[in-house]
């Protein structure tokens, strides 16, 4: 009975934590929800032989917990690994735009150049290499019409007419772009503050640090969104990059109904991007504004980054 009670209390507490995602419980929700299934399984194993009916009921509760807080759970059955070759990722149609977002693993040139076989129209890079390296990549991708907009932590590579946005935080790159086909877009990419992972939950300092870390990341995202909302033009917008927060995190409540997560709208296969070899965290995301249709969204395994590439094909309506 004691093990069943402990398991039920743990389940109820976790439903509360992941349901509300309060800053005060960030020390718990910084971990994927499925991490907590391990201690629950241990408790269930201990007491299962004595009260099978009760433990089966609690087991159903844990299964519900896994499904409710999973990111697009039905896509688990579509899992496929796409390599970086164009025949694996698929060619995009002439009337669509391909946006590729990739974290370059601390500024790796080899990682950055992995976007080339994906044949993108727009590239979002985070943890970007030095400027001369990215300038060369821009030229290799788009020739004489290529343009680079670079911040300290993020960069936009694109072909077309570019107006760079000034006065932005150091972790953001932003531009107004007119593509060769005449489409006008507001583009924003960034890398938010990396999360702190601590397992010493018995230490009050751990809870204070995690709360402050969540607040800092939300402040960064709010600063970006406030800047975007100041635009007075009617061009469509695409933003994305390394959010360093999983889907469901409280910071995403800042993103209004005018935006849609491209992978949630048109994703196929396994959407997690981190770590590259065995991804469980979908921290790399691309959002699009109303008026842009997602044709497909997928990820591709890389060779030199610790993240997978996120590839979104879209059309502007």
Element (H or E) spanning 149, and its range? strand 146-150
Chain centre to alpha carbon of residue 98? 17
pLDDT at 82: 53
CA distance 93 to 116: 17
Q: DSSP code of 165?
A: P
pLDDT of residue 1: 59
What is the three-class DSSP state of 156?
strand
Q: What whole-number distance in Å separates Cα of residue 40 and Cα of residue 18? A: 16
For 309: left if phi > 0, alpha if psi spans -120 to 50, otherwise beta; the answer is beta
Q: What is the pTM of this model?
A: 0.86
- CA 23, CA 209: separation in Å to the nearest integer? 11
DSSP secondary structure, 47-108, as one string: HTTT-HHHHHHHHHHHHHHHHHTSSSGGGGGG---B-SSHHHH-PPPTTSEEEEEEE-TTT-
> So where are the chain's domains?
2-70, 79-316
**DSSP 3-state of 312:** strand
Q: What is the pLDDT of residue 47?
A: 56
Q: For domain 79-316, which architecture applies?
A: 4-Layer Sandwich (3.60)
Residue 281: burial class (beta carbons within 10 Å; 0-12, 13-18, 19+): middle
10-residue mean pLDDT profile of the chain (317 residues): values are 74 88 90 77 60 69 80 55 51 75 94 96 96 95 93 94 82 92 92 91 95 95 89 80 90 91 90 90 93 94 96 91
Longest CA–CA span in the chain (Å) reads 74
Q: For residue 27, what are its two tokens?
A: 């020390």
Asked whether the beta carbons of 298 and 278 are under 8 A apart, the reply is: no
Cα R_g (the chain), whole angstroms: 21
Do 273 and 310 meet the contact criterion of CB atoms below 8 Å apart?
yes
Report the pLDDT value the prediction gives residue 75, as an integer from 0 to 100. 54
Q: What is the structure's pLDDT at 36? A: 79
């Amino acid at each position: 009975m004691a093990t069943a009670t402990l398991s039920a209390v743990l389940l109820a507490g976790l439903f509360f934590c992941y349901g509300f995602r309060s800053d005060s419980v960030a020390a718990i929700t910084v971990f994927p929800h499925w991490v907590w299934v391990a201690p629950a399984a241990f408790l269930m194993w201990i007491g299962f032989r004595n009260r099978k009916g009760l433990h089966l009921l609690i087991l159903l509760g844990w299964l519900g917990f896994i499904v409710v807080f999973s990111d697009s759970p039905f896509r688990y059955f579509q899992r496929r690994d796409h390599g970086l070759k164009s025949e694996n990722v698929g060619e995009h149609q002439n009337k669509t735009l391909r946006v590729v977002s990739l974290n370059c693993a601390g500024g790796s040139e080899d990682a950055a150049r992995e976007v080339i076989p994906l044949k993108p129209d727009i590239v979002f890079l985070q943890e970007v290499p030095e400027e001369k390296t990215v300038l060369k990549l821009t030229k290799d991708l788009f020739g004489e019409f290529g343009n680079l907009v670079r911040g300290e932590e993020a960069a936009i590579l694109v072909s077309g007419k570019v107006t760079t946005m000034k006065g932005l935080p150091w972790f953001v790159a932003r531009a107004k772009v007119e593509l060769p086909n005449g489409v006008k877009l507001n583009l924003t990419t960034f890398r938010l503050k990396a999360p702190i992972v601590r397992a010493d939950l018995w230490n009050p300092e751990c809870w204070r640090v995690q709360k402050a870390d969540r607040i800092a990341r939300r402040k960064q995202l709010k600063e970006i969104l406030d800047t975007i909302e100041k635009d007075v033009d009617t061009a469509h917008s695409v933003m994305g990059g390394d959010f360093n927060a999983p889907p469901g995190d409280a910071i995403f409540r800042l993103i209004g109904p005018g935006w849609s997560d491209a992978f949630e709208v048109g994703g196929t296969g396994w959407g997690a991007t981190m770590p590259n070899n065995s991804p469980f965290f979908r921290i790399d995301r691309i959002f699009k504004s109303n008026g842009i249709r997602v044709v497909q969204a997928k990820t591709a395994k890389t060779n030199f980054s610790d993240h997978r590439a996120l590839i979104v094909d879209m059309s502007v309506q």
